[in-house]
Amino acid sequence: SLTIGIVGLPNVGKSTMFNALTRNNVLAENYPFATIEPNTGVVPLPDKRLPVLAELVHTEKIVPATVTFVDIAGIVKGASEGEGLGNKFLANIREADAICEVVRAFEDDDIVHVNGRVNPDDDIDTINTELILADLQTIDNALPKLEKDLRGKKIEPAYMEAVKKAKEILESGRTIDQAASAGEINKDDVYDLHLLTAKPFIYVFNVDDNELTNEEFKAKLAQSVAPAPAIFLNAQFEAELTELDEADAREMLADAGLEESGLDQLARVGFDILGLQTFLTAGEKEVHAWQIHQGWTAPQAAGVIHTDFEKGFIKAEVVSYDDFVEADGSMTKIKDEGKLRLEGKDYVMQDGDIVEFKFNV
Ligand code: GDP
């Protein structure tokens, strides 16, 4: 499954946040046979629709989609040269599908900042510079062979141009993700290089709890990383939330003027940035949010439930979540009102589709 690697300088609150994430672990509950590594946290994708559906179809069992985070320790200045845990660090990031950068924006004189003072921009710069240097190394290592392949007409000149473009971008101190957002390069064109900075980035600012509702303060930080998404949370506050039962947690959030926990926001944004979406099944046995890639067709989606469903796919019976709720979950009513859609093999799944697949065995 796709993973999000959590990186950040020491003492920014990564462990505090990661421990809170793993306390939220859904794996044990819903996937008892899966083994999970100690540095992996599998958290539920928050989805308010699921309990609504469960009530309508009279089931207790809800299986949410999940988001997997991996705690990647060891970023330091010089990581790209193999300093400290550098090499292992880079290898771990390479395996992740997206990068979540935790940045310290909280003030606390008792907690030493590795660079001497709290400066989110500098911290992001320190980390991104290491990733950029590692990517430049990747390109420089690849270039001699690419030159040769170009002469031997084994690669297209356009590919070489894209590689050189990527090198220029990195040399200017920017990530491929940033440049791609600005329309300067197409990530697909340099996919074969597996560059670290071509992964999607999310920034998590660990802020003092009294800044959580300071829109001006947050907007400034968000702007510094835009258009990459930014999440604002207080790691200690999140840790406390995970110790409470649902009602108390909701009250604590409300008292802080918040609607959703930072970790829930992170899970949602992370899921989206991985290019994932869900579709739903709802029956007496369970309500289930299945995860698929954005843009997948009905047979591909069916294959997530069972490979036989994809092979023998005939059609999908689809009703939108809103129509389902409006009809109080009555399939008779949904059919009578013409709201059950029959979709074929080219149908592209939409978020909120409630589906039943018809297939040959
Ligand atoms: P890591 O090195 O990035 O994993 O950071 P830790 O999670 O170990 O946190 C470093 C120190 O900062 C610990 O003493 C935490 O209790 C403290 N800390 C973490 N988050 C916050 C926060 O939001 N506010 C304050 N004041 N301290 C925090």
Instruction: List pLDDT tens digits, range 316-356.
Output: 999 999 999 999 999 999 999 999 999 999 999 999 999 99
Q: Indicate whether 345 belongs to any domain.
A: yes
Q: How confident is the model over 34-51, as pLDDT tens digits?
A: 555 668 888 899 999 999
At residue 26, does pLDDT exceed 70?
no
Separation of alpha carbons 138 and 195, rounded Å: 8
**Are 317 and 356 contacting, i.e. CB atoms less than 8 angstroms apart?**
yes
Report whether residue 111 contacts ligand 1, using a CB cutoff of 6 Å. yes
Peptide bond into 32 cis (omega under 30): no
Question: Does residue 235 have its Cβ closer than 6 Å to ligand 1?
Answer: yes
What's the CATH code of the domain at 334? 3.10.20.30
Instruction: Tell me, yes or no, whether 40 lies in a domain.
Output: no
Type of residue found at 256? A
Atom of ligand 1 at shortest range from CA of 17: 7
What's the mean pLDDT when you consider all of the chain? 91
The model's pLDDT over 299-316, given as tens digits with 9 standing for 90+, comes to 999 999 998 888 899 999
**Residues of the domain holding 325:** 295-359
Pocket test for ligand 1, best of 9, 16, 102, 115 (most atoms within 8 A of CB): 16
Let me know if residue 48 belongs to a domain: no
**Is 14 labeled as ligand-binding?**
yes
CA neighbor of 207 nearest in space, from 243, 237, 183: 237
pLDDT digits (tens, 9 = 90+) for 252-275: 999 999 999 999 999 999 999 999
To the question of whether residue 13 is assigned a binding role by annotation, the answer is yes
Ligand 1 binding pocket includes 270 (Cβ within 6 Å): no
Tens of pLDDT along 180-212? 999 999 999 999 999 999 999 999 999 999 999
- pLDDT band at 32; cut points 50, 70, 90: very low
- CA–CA separation, 7 vs 204, rounded Å? 10
Strand 40-44 and strand 353-359: the pairing is unpaired
Q: CA gyration radius for the chain?
A: 23
Identify the residue whose C-alpha is closest to ligand 1 atom 10: 11
Domain contains 304: yes
Judge whether 16 is annotated as a binding position: yes
CA nearest to 201, candidates 181, 221, 172, 171: 181
Q: Is residue 181 a known part of a binding site?
A: no
For the chain, the domain total comes to 1
Q: What pTM was estimated for this model as a whole?
A: 0.90
Q: What is each CA distance from 236 to 14, 79, 239, 309, in whole angstroms?
A: 10, 28, 5, 45
Q: Which of 101, 111, 234 to mutate to test the pocket of ligand 1 (most atoms within 8 A of CB)?
A: 111
Burial class (CB in 10 A: 0-12, 13-18, 19+), 231: buried
Binding site annotation covers 1? no
Contact 131, 197 (CB under 8 A): yes
ipTM value for the complex:
0.97
Nearest atom in ligand 1 to the alpha carbon of residue 10 is 2
205 bridge partner residues: 103, 232
Whole-angstrom distance, CA of residue 202 vs CA of residue 230: 6
Give percent of the chain with pLDDT exceeding 70.
92
Whether 250 is in a domain gets the answer no
Residue 30 lies inside a defined structural domain of this protein: no
Q: Whose CA is nearest to atom 17 of ligand 1?
A: 13
The alpha helices in 213-317, defined as continuous H runs, are 215-225, 235-242, 246-255, 262-273, 298-305, 307-311
For 225, the token pair is 């990383």
Q: Is 262 in the pocket of ligand 1 (CB under 6 A)?
A: no
Distance from the CA of 266 to the center of ligand 1, in angstroms? 18
What is the spatial distance between Cα 138 and Cα 161, in angstroms, rounded to a whole number? 16
Cβ of 11 less than 6 Å from ligand 1: yes
Q: For atom 9 of ligand 1, which residue has the closest CA? A: 13
Amino acid present at 286:
E
Any domain includes 333 = yes
Instruction: Tell me: is residue 330 an annotated ligand-binding position.
Output: no
Query: What's the 346 CA to ligand 1 centre distance in angstroms?
Result: 49
CB contact at 8 A, 93 and 196 = yes
Look at residue 83 and tell me whether its pLDDT is greater than 70: no
pLDDT, mean of residues 139-149:
96
Q: Given ligand 1 and candidates 206, 208, 236, 238, which is best to mutate, with the most ligand atoms within 8 Å of its CB?
A: 236
CB of 171 sitting under 6 A from ligand 1 = no
Give the separation between CA 218 and CA 237, rounded to whole angstroms: 17
pLDDT digits (tens, 9 = 90+) for 85-133: 567 788 889 999 999 999 999 988 888 777 777 889 999 999 999 999 9
- At residue 24 the predicted structure's pLDDT band, cuts being 50, 70 and 90, is low
The reply to whether ligand 1 has any atom less than 6 angstroms from the CB of 15 is yes
Flag whether 137 is in a domain: no
The C-alpha atoms of residue 198 and residue 96 are separated, in whole angstroms, by 11
Residue with CA nearest ligand 1 atom 14: 111
From the CA of 132, how far away is ligand 1's center (Å)? 26
Which whole-number Å values give the CA distances from 309 to 33, 345, 359, 361, in the listed order? 23, 12, 6, 8
pLDDT band at 54 (very low <50, low <70, confident <90, very high): very high
Would the CB of 10 count as within 6 Å of ligand 1?
A: yes
